[in-house]
Structure 1
Amino acid sequence: MKRMKKHLSMLLILVVALAAFGCGKKEEAVKEGALYTPGTYTAEEKGHNGNVKVTVTVTEDKIENIEVDLMDETEGIAGPAAEKIVDLVLKNQGLGVDTVSGATVSSTAILAAITAALKEAGADVEALKNIKAEEEVLEVSDKEADIVIIGAGGAGMAAAVEAASLGKSVIIVEKMPIVGGNTNRATGGINAAETSIQEQEGIEDTIETYYDDTFKGGKEENDPELLKVMVENSAEAVDWLNELGAGLTRVSLSGGATNPRIHTPEDGSAVGPVVVKVLENKLKELGVEILMETTAKSIIEENGAAAGVEVENVNGNSFKIHAKAVIIASGGFGANSDMVEGFRADLVGFSTTNHAGATGDGIELGQEAGAALDDIEFIQIHPTTDPESGYMFTEGLRGDGAILLNSQGMRFTDELLTRDVVSANILKQEGGIAYLVTNEEMKEENAALAGYIKKGYATECATLADVAKAIGAEEAAVVESMAKYKDAVAAGTDAEFGREHLTQDLSEGPYYILKVTPGIHHTMGGLKIDTTTHVISAEGSAIKGLYAAGEVTGGVHGANRIGGNAVTDIIVFGRIAGKTAAEELGN
């Protein structure tokens, strides 16, 4: 008995010792006088598209290293934000760092993960938050270039690539801390007709059909000459991007198109980040200077011509960039609710798919320089955005076979009508809400859909009964709607709504349901330009030395933009702006 008690006592001591050792290892107190328990710590926080993971290494008195794994975040948006935050935390050895505009959700997650890791290291987190990051005081001095470009989105970067390739010195000013603008958010693809890729796929399409589709989609309000330039240069735009490494080799169908012509990455992933990446890489190769967090405040005029811009940097200091030509490529105004509502009172309270910098600054700058406006009242809402976040789901899903059900479980529209019509039809449904129905077969073929599912936007449903439950409808209604659609695909005729392109019959689960509502997406109006991107004055003449391209302009799309045409627009006219400005400067 004594021997047993002795063994039990020894076992108890061992257990207590092991427990103490384990607790001490996990929650070891910071040594007196030290800031951290030395080691490497990891933490994860939810970002925009999923989790972000950070690994923080500390010594007793220093944050030594921070590594950020962005996982599912958009590299072009979250990457620069991560670099900036890590740099400031390491430089200032504190957490008093602001989120990065344009990447707020991602940067909030990165900061939260760093904070959690440091807390695990025993840090006094509140004290670290009180260590405010010191703003870098940038030297201010006037600059000179052949061409200055306002905006580092797709149009501005395309213009810069062309101008620099023609031997001109180029400076881009970008008010946001990241490049790309709305192009980062382009989820579909780039429309083009008579491409080599269509030919390889056996797709018959013509420039004339592309023109007719776009003119019809724009309610015949498009400027015919601008539209002609866009469609005739579309195939070359795709080739140009692919020469830069974009890999846009998959062709699909989008709303308003007679034939498949929207070109995307091979896996069906979002086109925007790819375009931004290849353009940014080319600009680095060409040595083009991009001044980030630098806002154009006015266009310098000399002898009736644009002669540069006056800008303000992140510290609020002003300086001038003298140039022989100015290209405005600052995007639209979809994120400026006051401006939107000023032109369209019926759009009060709508969410937006646009990035925070899409506030119409370039339109105002152009007007101050005497520019006329074109189609300014035409503002597009995209039919399929997330009701809570405004995140946009590509209409390529509908082109690939998805259908829309309302909360009663019934189809209510041809899903491949133009964006304005599909949006209007959704807004007629209860609560202005609809449900995009996809399935496993579509997921396997479309990387964008797989991404939405991974990011948590979709509800997975094993059966149609589960679909009905997910959308709050009667099971019988959902079963009947899906059966009718399956029969329509089999017959090749959608007698109910007239949908012409019937691909997936959606007969097999599991199903993935995306809740959607329309949101402000594109502003078709802006500065008036001619076919070589000269900005036109209110008197009807070209303003010397001033050019514009992309969403900051009007006339190309008319009253409604066809999906896939935004990227075509920015690349075609961005390239023309860069070439025209460079060639008109001469040698």
Structure 2
Amino acid sequence: MHTYKTEVVVIGAGLAGIATALELLDLNVPVVLLDGAPGGKPGGQANEAFGGMLLSNTAEQARNKIKDSPELLLADWHNAACFGDDDHWPRLWAELYAEQNRPMIYDWLRQRGIRFFPSVQWVERGLYGKGNSVPRYHIAWGCGRGVVQTLLQQLEAHPNRNRLTFLNGHRVNTLSLSDGQITGCQGNISNEQLEKQSSGVFSVSATHTVVCTGGINGNLEKVRQHWDPCYGPAPENLLSGASPDADGAMHDEVARAGGQVVNLNQMWNYAAGIRHPEPAFPDQGLSLIPPRSALWMDRHGRRIGPMPLITGFDTHDLCKQVGNLPGQISWQVMNYRIAVRELAVSGTDTNPDFRDGKLLRVVWNSLRGGDPALMDWLIERCPDVVSANTPEELAGKMNQVAGNNDVQTEDMIRDIHTYDSNIARGKRLQNDDQIRRLIQLRNWLPDRFRTCNLQPILDPAAGPLIAIREQLISRKSMGGMQTDTHSRVLDQAGAAIPGLYAAGEATGFGGGGISGIRSLEGTFLSNCILNGRRAAQSIADRL
């Protein structure tokens, strides 16, 4: 067995692990950083993330004349989270986030060269107002991959680089336990790394062990096991928006070592998942940022109601609505103009202008009504996207995709005509909740650029028609290992397990569920940084 000895071992080189290791090097603490990602590509899920972060009192907010405060953020957080009586540590983490997100996350990233798109987005406003009172969603230039790759470069160039041992292809499966204390870990070395090692197993002896191994949402069996019935029955057709590496194995290992693992039913899934045109693993899906001007319909082509579904207000509610539909299948029907202007796909590579920092191109596409490249790719390659020149033809293609005759053509056409007619009445006589919400969305300038101005579906000049078949997609864990605000893992009695820490998605992003049942969105990458830095600072204080 290949052995290492160090002061701190960090398990997992996603964003939380990288932030932890950087902070430890800043504090001149020796650390072994392990990553089990295949192909030696550290960065975890952040590599694929869009890169949005919930931040307050920032320079970007000030330039956009947004008045925010820790008190307002915390009040919004509580409204969205609906914390229960047992959520002591999640509440404390939420308070810490509200007070410290500016210095601990935003300023820290800025000091390390990360910049944000100048326009602040307003997401998760709450279906009836219990969400973000003001815009807080900051998009990092370079997206999630740009953030983690920048931080990885700084790890490699750190003045204390000689205090870091970075081992790729080392997947931990066991925590070492001695006299009630965690003393390191053991695991297997990938075949790729075996060429450089004399054995297929390794162990690390450490005074402090930090678990940063992500959530459970890449393991669909485990997701279904912990599925919250508020979303309906556990879906058989569930798509995966997380790498299979996020399998929850270390959750089981931490529980075996005596740690509390809580709230695994709390997940941040999405209602608008589609099958990936180029899947890298079974059941891989893409998570759409759905068009707001599209009509969201059930599997029969009937508009969902009485409250129409529209994104941007309450993702948790959208998942509940779709999860309780017959078959857990929905359709969005729109035209090409709506799709090009409004539809986006969450992720780094599906947003190349943000990924590559092309500000002028982002502005240009906003002014001209969108970039057709993404929509054309989906129409050509995605099996869940169909287009047609007439609603009758569209319904026929929808049924071909579904493999049945569930879509009722006459019902779908009737609902589309009803909506279009409501738009045609003019603002004095319009009476539709989707129209009201579209008008409200367009009051915020960034949303005005990416939301059509009451676009009828059957507008001949805006065709062709497009329908997208959607289903639930598994994305992020909002429950996990319970930690105190020093990122120490707690046992069943609520005491810190000596030597054991955790950060990032493994902890439900802090405390075993910092967001409660409903995130304000953008709390995931940012909390990886907050959790990781707190773990490193706590460890340094004990040396």
TM-score, L = length of structure 1: 0.67
**2:238 is the counterpart of 1:339:** no
User: C-alpha deviations, 1:436-491, integer Å up to 9, x for none?
Assistant: 75444447239898546545459586988699657665445335425646889999
The partner residue of 1:263 within 129, 134, 138 is 138
Which amino acid in structure 2 is aligned with residue 241 of structure 1?
L
**2:121 is the counterpart of 1:252:** yes
Q: Identify the residue that residue 153 of structure 2 maps to in structure 1.
A: 281
User: Partners of 2:372 and 2:468 in 1: how far apart?
Assistant: 10
Which amino acid in structure 2 is aligned with residue 372 of structure 1?
Q
User: Partners of 1:520 and 1:485 in 2: how far apart?
Assistant: 35
User: Partners of 1:493 and 1:577 in 2: how far apart?
Assistant: 52
User: 1:368, CA displacement in angstroms?
Assistant: 2.2
**2:417 is the counterpart of 1:523:** no
User: C-alpha deviations, 1:175-227, integer Å up to 9, x for none?
Assistant: 22221222223235111122111111122333333323332222324521111
Q: Identify the residue that residue 419 of structure 2 maps to in structure 1.
A: 481
User: Partners of 2:294 and 2:4 in 1: how far apart?
Assistant: 54
Q: Secondary structure at the match of 1:246?
A: coil
User: Which deviates the most, 187-196 or 429-438?
Assistant: 429-438
**2:28 is the counterpart of 1:150:** no
**2:134 is the counterpart of 1:196:** no
Q: Identify the residue that residue 179 of structure 1 maps to in structure 2.
A: 42
User: Partners of 2:319 and 2:262 in 1: how far apart?
Assistant: 24
Q: Identify the residue that residue 76 of structure 2 maps to in structure 1.
A: 213
User: Partners of 1:404 and 1:188 in 2: how far apart?
Assistant: 28
**2:427 is the counterpart of 1:540:** no
**2:331 is the counterpart of 1:391:** no
The partner residue of 1:561 within 519, 527, 530 is 519
User: C-alpha deviations, 1:349-380, integer Å up to 9, x for none?
Assistant: 22221101011122122112211122233234
Which amino acid in structure 2 is aligned with residue 290 of structure 1?
F
Return closer, same or farther for 1:277/1:462 CA change in 2, 3 Å cut-off. Answer: farther
User: Partners of 1:526 and 1:452 in 2: how far apart?
Assistant: 36
Q: Identify the residue that residue 462 of structure 2 maps to in structure 1.
A: 509
Q: Secondary structure at the match of 1:406?
A: strand
User: C-alpha deviations, 1:70-117, integer Å up to 9, x for none?
Assistant: xxxxxxxxxxxxxxxxxxxxxxxxxxxxxxxxxxxxxxxxxxxxxxxx
Which amino acid in structure 2 is aligned with residue 148 of structure 1?
V
The partner residue of 1:324 within 175, 185, 207 is 207
Contact 2:76–2:133 (8 Å) recurs in 1: yes
Contact 1:486–1:506 (8 Å) recurs in 2: no
Contact 1:404–1:415 (8 Å) recurs in 2: no
Which amino acid in structure 2 is aligned with residue 202 of structure 1?
K
TM-score, L = length of structure 2: 0.72
User: Partners of 1:491 and 1:252 in 2: how far apart?
Assistant: 30
Return closer, same or farther for 1:311/1:512 CA change in 2, 3 Å cut-off. Answer: same
Q: Identify the residue that residue 234 of structure 1 maps to in structure 2.
A: 101
User: 1:329, CA displacement in angstroms?
Assistant: 0.7
Aligned residues: 440
User: Partners of 1:423 and 1:215 in 2: how far apart?
Assistant: 20
Contact 1:488–1:495 (8 Å) recurs in 2: no
Q: Secondary structure at the match of 2:500?
A: strand
Return closer, same or farther for 1:353/1:430 CA change in 2, 3 Å cut-off. Answer: same
Contact 2:11–2:212 (8 Å) recurs in 1: yes
User: Partners of 2:390 and 2:134 in 1: how far apart?
Assistant: 31
The partner residue of 1:224 within 81, 84, 91 is 91
Q: Identify the residue that residue 354 of structure 1 maps to in structure 2.
A: 242
User: 1:387, CA displacement in angstroms?
Assistant: 4.1
Q: Identify the residue that residue 405 of structure 1 maps to in structure 2.
A: 296
Which amino acid in structure 2 is aligned with residue 283 of structure 1?
L
Q: Secondary structure at the match of 1:546?
A: strand
User: 1:547, CA displacement in angstroms?
Assistant: 0.9
Q: Secondary structure at the match of 2:270?
A: strand
Which amino acid in structure 2 is aligned with residue 423 of structure 1?
C
User: Partners of 1:364 and 1:216 in 2: how far apart?
Assistant: 31
Structure index of larger Rg: 1
Contact 1:254–1:564 (8 Å) recurs in 2: no
Q: Identify the residue that residue 310 of structure 1 maps to in structure 2.
A: 186
User: Partners of 1:496 and 1:154 in 2: how far apart?
Assistant: 38
Contact 2:422–2:430 (8 Å) recurs in 1: no
Return closer, same or farther for 1:461/1:376 CA change in 2, 3 Å cut-off. Answer: closer
Return closer, same or farther for 1:220/1:189 CA change in 2, 3 Å cut-off. Answer: same
User: Which deviates the most, 497-506 or 191-200?
Assistant: 497-506
Q: Secondary structure at the match of 1:245?
A: coil
Which amino acid in structure 1 is aligned with residue 332 of structure 2?
Y
For structure 1, the residue ranges without an aligned partner over 5 or more in a row are 1-139
For structure 2, the residue ranges without an aligned partner over 5 or more in a row are 127-131, 192-198, 277-282, 344-364, 399-406, 443-447, 456-460
Contact 1:191–1:567 (8 Å) recurs in 2: no
Contact 1:409–1:468 (8 Å) recurs in 2: no
User: 1:340, CA displacement in angstroms?
Assistant: 2.5
Q: Which has the higher contact order (CA 8 A, sep 6+)?
A: 2
User: Partners of 2:217 and 2:310 in 1: how far apart?
Assistant: 26
Return closer, same or farther for 1:447/1:373 CA change in 2, 3 Å cut-off. Answer: farther
User: Partners of 2:56 and 2:393 in 1: how far apart?
Assistant: 38
Q: Identify the residue that residue 176 of structure 2 maps to in structure 1.
A: 300
- How many percent identity over aligned positions? 20
Which amino acid in structure 1 is aligned with residue 419 of structure 2?
S
